[in-house]
A and B are shown apart, each in its own frame.
Chain A
Amino acid sequence: MLEELIISGFGGQGVMVMGQLLSYAGLFEGKNVSWIPSYGPEMRGGTANCSVVISTDPIGSPIVSEPLSVIVMNRPSLDRFEPALRPGGVLVYNSSLIDRMPTRSDVRVIAVPANDMAAELGSGRVANMCALGAYLAATRVVSMDSIAESLKEVLPARRHNLIPLNVKALEAGAELAK
């Protein structure tokens, strides 16, 4: 299997963490993984993105230019990465913040009102997990259990009390894509 994914959003929306969780989950499942962030001035407040590749074969380029899947958390990210998505791919978008519908008809589009869902769950900070949950249910790239395991690696120990909330958000997102 091969997954080439771009996750994009404002700095602070947790897009880097989403990528790292997927990478750890892939690692736990014995797959090859790579994660690379965009870096530069846009990391401060602007749009940030990361490329994640998960593969059973050795990974060639870690930089994804024609993604198989895209998760976009804000409007500029949708505008930028929707056209790059390969036909048949998966597009998860944060419909809480994005004020237009995706236009592609040759991909699977999943709307996730991530911020609204997160607010309902009691913390706006798990909006990224809602989107990630939908993506996982749609692609089954790694298992939900592996992601839950990855939370222990990615979240600092003092935040481990938030793992159940994160898992709840993942599951809520997954419901949308079923």
Chain B
Amino acid sequence: MAERKLFKGNEAVAEAAVRAGCRYFFGYPITPQNEIPEYMARRLPEVGGLFLQAESEVAAINMVYGAAGTGARVMTSSSSPGISLKQEGISYIAGAELPCLIVNMVRGGPGLGGIQPAQSDYFQAVKGGGHGDYYTIVYAPASIQEMVDLTMQAFDVAETYRMPVMILGDGVLGQMMEPVEFREPAPREVPAKDWATTGAKDGRAPRLINSIYLQPEALFKHNLKIAERFEQAKKNEVMCEKAKTDDADIVLVAYGTTARICRSVMDRARAAGLKVGLIRPITVSPFPYDEIGEVARTAKAFLTVEMSLGQMVEDVKVAVSGAAPVHFYGTTGGVIPTAAEILERVEEIARAEVRK
């Protein structure tokens, strides 16, 4: 077994990216993710890579675009307000079919909001984010180890589907320390980058990185091609964890930090004799609709828990498709829900839905 070391989430995701071959990082400071650019500024020169602090998030994501267009493994990171600024570039990167990694350590919004952890960028993250018809692949790790594991495969995935991959964390995951080991992911066959602009050498035809298609039919076709890749990702990349759902009356649905709290809630509820299970989406895009729908055949009620006023709950409702009531409990603005509060809600639901 590889050595387990304590890592802060932000530094772990950075180290994992380096180990996955990321050699270029363009970013701009914002709390609570500053340890990522700071780590990269020290670490990338050691491996012959390059860190550059851009003049803005807008510039940073466009530097990512340029480097990704040359076929480089490149990433950026930010937190909510900064990710909003990056959406222009993310849309262009998606339109130009470029792979890259974007990390969002979410904080409370809207506006300048606060700096404490939140999950209120869910809509933005899983519904494309920028303008136009596209999706990105979004991972929602719940531990530092998982953040490392997902980051280690993120570049392969991005290159396979030629689209941006996002790690959707939050202030807790960025700031907390847990033991991690850096494990090689299962090898994937990644397609050759026969599109990279590195100079038209040896008589090859010039290449173009582009997202403009003025003819509607051409853009239609282009968007279908991007959509088809995402359909493939839906088939192959959906990840979710189910815990004690087989006999569960009430199923908690939560991702990231909130899922950890819900695990404690589940254990406490089980100890109190309530049959509670947990579904934890690991990819929130593509979303595990089928996996949740499957559980909806036996569960009596769902409780979606988020650090937002209810965003993922919409996808859970689609997944459950009316087979059972879908309740919601959420906190916002940087307030972290406590296990006791959630448990109280579970007990309420148990009284209303299970024992009726």
A and B from one assembly?
yes
Count of chain A residues with a beta carbon within 8 Å of a chain B beta carbon? 21
Known contacts A23-B177, A39-B175, A66-B340; A60/B263 CB under 8 A: yes
Contact A39 B32 (CB under 8 A): yes
Contact B260 A61 (CB under 8 A): yes
Contact A62 B172 (CB under 8 A): yes
B4 beta carbon closer than 8 Å to chain A? yes
B269 beta carbon closer than 8 Å to chain A? no
Residues of chain A lying within 8 A (CB to CB) of residue B267 = 60
Known contacts A59-B260, A63-B261; A20/B177 CB under 8 A: yes
Chain B, 299-356, CB within 8 A of any chain A CB:
336, 338-340
Residue ID in chain B nearest A66 by CB atoms: B340
A24 beta carbon closer than 8 Å to chain B? yes
Known contacts A60-B263, A61-B339; A34/B171 CB under 8 A: no
A27 beta carbon closer than 8 Å to chain B? yes
Known contacts A60-B260, A61-B260, A62-B260; A37/B179 CB under 8 A: no
B87 beta carbon closer than 8 Å to chain A? no
CB distance from A130 to the nearest CB of B (A): 24
Contact A40 B336 (CB under 8 A): no
Which residue of A32, A35, A39 is within 8 Å of B177 (Cβ)?
A35
A134 beta carbon closer than 8 Å to chain B? no
Known contacts A40-B116, A60-B261, A60-B264; A33/B178 CB under 8 A: yes
Known contacts A36-B175, A60-B264; A24/B6 CB under 8 A: yes
Q: Per-residue CB proximity of B26-52 to A under 8 Å, as 1/0?
A: 000001100000000000000000000
A65 beta carbon closer than 8 Å to chain B? yes
Residues of chain B lying within 8 A (CB to CB) of residue A40 = 31, 115-116
Residues of chain B lying within 8 A (CB to CB) of residue A37 = 175
Contact B115 A20 (CB under 8 A): no
Q: Per-residue CB proximity of A1-37 to B under 8 Å, as 1/0?
A: 0000000000000000000100110010000111111
Contact B260 A27 (CB under 8 A): no
CB distance from A73 to the nearest CB of B (A): 20
Q: Per-residue CB proximity of B251-293 to A under 8 Å, as 1/0?
A: 0000001001111110100000000000000000000000000
Residues of chain B lying within 8 A (CB to CB) of residue A58 = 263
Residues of chain A lying within 8 A (CB to CB) of residue B262 = 60
B176 beta carbon closer than 8 Å to chain A? yes
Known contacts A34-B178, A39-B115, A61-B264; A27/B4 CB under 8 A: yes
Contact A62 B339 (CB under 8 A): no
CB distance from B223 to the nearest CB of A (A): 41
CB distance from B278 to the nearest CB of A (A): 10
CA–CA, A20 and B179, complex, Å: 11
Contact A36 B261 (CB under 8 A): no
Residues of chain A lying within 8 A (CB to CB) of residue B261 = 60-61, 63
Residues of chain B lying within 8 A (CB to CB) of residue A63 = 172, 257, 261, 336
CB distance from B113 to the nearest CB of A (A): 13
Residue in B257, B260, B267 with the greatest tally of chain A CB atoms within 10 Å: B260
Q: Per-residue CB proximity of A52-93 to B under 8 Å, as 1/0?
A: 000000111111011000000000000000000000000000
Residues of chain B lying within 8 A (CB to CB) of residue A24 = 6
Residues of chain B lying within 8 A (CB to CB) of residue A65 = 336, 338-340
Residues of chain B lying within 8 A (CB to CB) of residue A61 = 257, 260-261, 263-264, 339
Known contacts A35-B177, A39-B31; A23/B6 CB under 8 A: yes
CA–CA, A169 and B4, complex, Å: 28
Contact A36 B176 (CB under 8 A): yes
Sampled A-B contacts (9; CB under 8 Å): A24-B6, A27-B4, A32-B179, A35-B6, A60-B263, A61-B261, A61-B263, A65-B339, A66-B340
Q: Contacts A39-B171, A60-B261, A62-B260 known; list 17 others, CB within 8 Å.
A: A20-B6, A24-B6, A27-B6, A33-B6, A33-B178, A35-B176, A35-B177, A36-B177, A37-B175, A39-B32, A40-B31, A60-B263, A61-B257, A61-B260, A61-B261, A61-B263, A63-B261
B residues with CB within 8 A of A: 4, 6, 31-32, 115-116, 171-172, 175-179, 257, 260-265, 267, 336, 338-340
A residues with CB within 8 A of B: 20, 23-24, 27, 32-37, 39-40, 58-63, 65-66, 153
